[in-house]
Copies of this chain bind each other. A is one copy, B any other.
């Protein structure tokens, strides 16, 4: 990319917990387009549960493989806005992430040896007035926009080598039992667990499985939603790559009267 003054066609995604009612996201887009009118903007989500950093991290992880090189992902789920929490910009492989340093990017970084991160400290790239309550508008949006015009990562601030980790529950795995839990409920009421399907398949070694949800409900392992009979609890690989519990033609979160933190046990 060239100097900061040039305008590149570029792609910025936006992920926040700001909702769609108040115009907060629109204002961030105004700031971005004022700096780089050529940029293409894509909403990942603005309806995350407020302050749900885990949900945001899952969406960012699921999105990454499907966006073209040089995409900039701007993510603002920021319970610590106005406090001393750091702000960062990050390059992993050929994409960028910008947002608060609170674990949002943990799943994107997971298993990555090489990444480049900086602490956002150079106020040249912020709006002239930085409020105490809306860094999405005043810090993160302008930084993402300047990044899209070709400013290099190192111009935004000093290196940051220890991004904050996400406090994500890890499944307990023994030879015949995996004990995990639900970490996210999606729009359809499907329950996304913390058990990676690929790891499950490796562990399973072809053995038949029994999947228990919430202690006493059984879910049948299938390949597609359509394989369940109406009302049946099924377990399958969801599009996030995790084991997912669904209820065929119904809302599993309503049927099970439970959502996040619900225990899931897999017995081989």
A interface, CB within 8 angstroms of B:
9, 11, 13, 15, 18-27, 29-31, 33-34, 37, 40-48, 50-51, 59, 62-63, 66-68, 71, 79-83, 131-134, 137, 186-188, 223-227, 236-239, 249
18 contacts between A and B (CB under 8 A): A9-B37, A20-B43, A21-B47, A21-B186, A22-B186, A25-B43, A26-B63, A29-B42, A30-B67, A30-B71, A34-B68, A37-B40, A41-B42, A79-B226, A132-B223, A133-B224, A133-B236, A137-B239
A132 contact set on B, CB distance < 8 A: 223-224, 236-237
* B45 near A20: Cβ-Cβ < 8 Å: yes
* B30 near A68: Cβ-Cβ < 8 Å: yes
Contact A239-B133, Cβ < 8 Å, known A20-B20, A66-B27, A81-B224: yes
A31 contact set on B, CB distance < 8 A: 66
Separation of A30 and B73 alpha carbons in the complex (Å): 11
Rounded to whole Å, the gap between the CB of A113 and the closest CB of chain B is 24
Separation of A43 and B186 alpha carbons in the complex (Å): 20
Copies of this chain, complex-wide, total: 3
Contact A23-B67, Cβ < 8 Å, known A11-B33, A225-B133: no
* A23 near B37: Cβ-Cβ < 8 Å: no
Rounded to whole Å, the gap between the CB of A244 and the closest CB of chain B is 8
Separation of A256 and B20 alpha carbons in the complex (Å): 23
Contact A42-B30, Cβ < 8 Å, known A82-B223, A132-B224, A225-B81: yes
Contact A249-B24, Cβ < 8 Å, known A33-B40, A71-B30, A239-B133: no
* A34 near B67: Cβ-Cβ < 8 Å: yes
* Most chain B CB neighbours (cut-off 10 Å) among A33, A63, A80, A133: A133
* B42 near A26: Cβ-Cβ < 8 Å: yes
